[in-house]
Amino acid sequence: MHIDAVDLNLLRPLQLLLRERHVSRAAARANLTQSAMSRALARLRVACDDELLVRTPTGYQLTPRARVIQDELATVMPTLRSLFEGGSFDPATAADTVRIAGSDFAVTILGDDLFPRFTRAAPNMSLSIASMAPSTFDDLDQGRLDLVLTPLVAPGNLRRRMLFTEDFVCVLSASHPVTADRLTLAQLGEHPHATVAGMFPQQTIVVGQLERLGVHATTEVRVPYFTAAIAAVRRTELIAVLPRRLAERHADASIRIAEAPPEITGLSYGMYWHPRLDADPVQRWLRQLVVQVSGVATARHHRDGDAPLAGRGVR
pLDDT of residue 313 exceeding 50, the answer is no
Residues 29-46 have pLDDT tens digits of 788 899 999 999 999 998
- DSSP for the chain, written as a single string: --GGGS-GGGHHHHHHHHHH--HHHHHHHHT--HHHHHHHHHHHHHHHTS--EEEETTEEEE-HHHHHHHHHHHHHHHHHHHHHHTT---TTT---EEEEEE-HHHHHHHHHHHHHHHHHH-TT-EEEEE---TTHHHHHHTTS-SEEEESSPPPTTSEEEEEEEE-EEEEEETT-S---SB--HHHHHHS-EEEE-TT-SS--HHHHHHHHTT----EEEEESSHHHHHHHHTTSS-EEEEEHHHHHHT--TTEEEEEPPTTS--EEEEEEE-GGGSS-HHHHHHHHHHHHHHHHHHHHHHHHTTS-GGGGT--
% of the chain residues with pLDDT over 70: 90
Q: Specify the pLDDT at position 312.
A: 35
pTM higher than 0.75: no
Q: Cβ(181)–Cβ(259) under 8 Å?
A: yes
Residues 242-300 have pLDDT tens digits of 999 999 998 899 999 999 999 999 889 999 999 988 888 899 999 999 999 999 988 88
Mean pLDDT on 297-312: 62
Which of 7-11, 24-28, 43-47 shows the lowest mean pLDDT across its residues? 7-11
Which of 3-7, 68-72, 121-125 shows the lowest mean pLDDT across its residues? 3-7
Give 71 or 309, the one with higher predicted confidence: 71
pLDDT of residue 202 exceeding 50, the answer is no
% of the chain residues with pLDDT over 90: 49
Q: What is the dihedral of CA 69, 75, 78, 81, to 10 degrees?
A: -60
pLDDT of residue 310 exceeding 70, the answer is no
- 224-257 b/e (C-beta count within 10 Å ≥ 16 → b): ebbbebbbbbeebebbbbbbbbbbbebbeeebbb
Q: How many CB atoms lie within 10 A of CB 120?
A: 10
Q: Specify the pLDDT at position 4.
A: 60
